[in-house]
Amino acid sequence: MRLISYNVNGIRAASSKGLGDWIHEGDYDVVCMQEIKASPEQIDHSLFDGYECNWFPAAKAGYSGTAILTKRAPDFISKGMGNDLFDGEGRVIRADYGDTTLICAYFPSGSTGEVRQAVKMQFLSEFTDFVEKLRMERPKIILTGDFNICHKAIDINFPKKHEKVSGFLPEERAWFDSFVARGWIDSFREFCTLPERYSWWSYRSRAREKNLGWRIDYFMVTDNLKPQLRNADIFEKINFSDHCPVYLELEL
């Protein structure tokens, strides 16, 4: 199974730049999207012919939202995690394939101030509870999306400079440490330990051109899926958004 995860920062804008053609050229089995910023009736479905499209838009127009596009129909689709605030923002969508579950998630950003940072920390706590409860029933899970957190210093440009910035705060990184300690694997780091591999760049100060980026988009897998990992990568040259796609290949 070949999977892509991509924060498209507006599916209509990304589609106008060639997103649909790129997906078809890659012939991916599953495409997970975050920040679609559109309702299903606003999306040109012909761009994704051959895929079953499962959209989970936010209640607020032009905001947030997630999606799973899949060539093989899942056995089960679920939207939300039972929290009205986060479900209203379309942040978590799930698809089951046999004994394996795929979760596509868009974690909140805390960059706009203390209120949203508190919301972000609440999400981290409630999402952990949600996914750990799910693991009791579904032990094999692939978790992907925009986490809005750089886990380690290697995942961000000039780490010292960003220690007090949302996305690299000590409490966020401590959450990530505790999450991994529960039995989760960062699939990309199983295949690449090089620095300066990023998945998001600010639109300001020519950050992408200078590769002043952050790695905040992940494919995490439960440790019982480690033997099935075949490849993971970051497609930095794909430029339909301020993010780029991340890739996972595994045997199911």
Would you please indicate which residues are annotated as catalytic (active-site) residues?
Answer: 146
The owner of tokens 């990992």 is: 229
Backbone phi and psi for residue 77, each to the nearest 5 degrees, phi listed first: -125, 135
Residue pair 100/225 in contact (Cβ under 8 Å)? The answer is: yes
Residue pair 16/54 in contact (Cβ under 8 Å)? The answer is: no
Q: What angle do CA 227, 230, 235 make, to 5 degrees?
A: 140
Residue pair 215/246 in contact (Cβ under 8 Å)? The answer is: no
Contacts by 98-102, CB closer than 8 A, 24 or more apart: 98/252, 99/138, 99/140, 100/138, 100/140, 100/141, 100/142, 100/225, 100/252, 101/134, 101/138, 101/140, 101/141, 101/142, 102/3, 102/30, 102/32, 102/68, 102/74, 102/141, 102/142, 102/144
